[in-house]
Amino acid sequence: MTHAVAPLTAILLAAPAESSEDQAPRVYRLRKSFAVVHFELSGKGRIVFLPEGAELKVVGSSRLSQCCEVLCENQLYSIFEADLSGPSVMRLKRGPTKPVPARAAAASA
């Protein structure tokens, strides 16, 4: 009895986009003035407006539901996650995705 054996190969066209971005912070630029929440040391929150062009760096989760904490000019603010994907905010790219040659991917399989 004979068995046919076919090699199993996977062809990857690009490196996983999130592998390097998981460690690099997400950075955004505001396209217009935007409302965010700033928590004072006492724990009291207040709404403030960040100016157009401000850069926001996501640093973690917020106390507010469905929000994340961002750093802007050494101050922490809370912003809705959904707002970061809206038209008023632009994600800044920190580097291009490097393509993986198909030959190298097939050889490593």
Q: Is residue 55 part of a domain?
A: yes
Q: pLDDT digits over 65-87, tens only? A: 999 999 999 999 999 999 999 99
CATH code, domain carrying 34: 2.30.30.40
What is the CB neighbour count within 10 angstroms for residue 95?
8
Tokens of 57: 């760096």
Q: Helix, strand, or coil here: 82?
A: helix
Q: Among 31, 10, 2, which Cα is nearest to 104's?
A: 10
- The region that residue 62 occupies, defined by phi over 0 for left and psi between -120 and 50 for alpha, beta otherwise, is beta
Q: Is residue 68 part of a domain?
A: yes
Q: pLDDT digits over 15-70, tens only? A: 444 444 456 789 999 999 999 999 988 889 999 999 999 999 999 998 889 999 99
Q: Is residue 46 part of a domain?
A: yes
- Model confidence, pTM: 0.63
Q: Helix, strand, or coil here: 48?
A: strand
